[in-house]
Amino acid sequence: MNKISMYRKLLGYQGANKKQPIYEAMPGALVTHAFIHCTNCGESISHNMGPRSDAWCVQCTEDKIVADAKAKAKAEEEKKKLAKIKAALKKKKEEEDEAKRKADADGQQ
């Protein structure tokens, strides 16, 4: 963060996941008179400096980060569950194979 941006209000982000912050225009700066709207909720982020594609308001950006983290955690949990099921199936198959081997060995005697 540079010194100038520290004193300007954060309006939102260009791209989800806080890719690039959008700050309010510096006093006296020449800006376009086009709104910037949030891609996600449609709320106005700024009444100038627009148009911008893929602009996200602060709230939607934070909501998305939380939602992404939750989805990732859930996916990890599902992965662990699946690994457990796979391990249980593998163990069962090994036990069945062992029982079959024993039965075959008994049959040959």
How many chain residues are in contact with Zn ion, going by CB under 5 A?
5
DSSP E strand boundaries for 1-109: 10-14, 20-23, 36-37, 44-46, 55-57
CB of 70 to Zn ion, least distance (A): 18
Handedness of CA 12, 15, 19, 25 (dihedral sign): negative
Q: Which residue, 25 or 58, has its beta carbon nearer to Zn ion?
A: 58
Residues 38-67, one symbol each (x = binds Zn ion by CB under 5 A, - = not), give: x-xx---------------x--x-------
CB of 31 to Zn ion, least distance (A): 21
CB of 95 to Zn ion, least distance (A): 55
**CB of 13 closer than 8 Å to CB of 56:** yes
Element holding 18 (H helix, E strand): none
Binding site for Zn ion (CB under 5 A): 38, 40-41, 57, 60
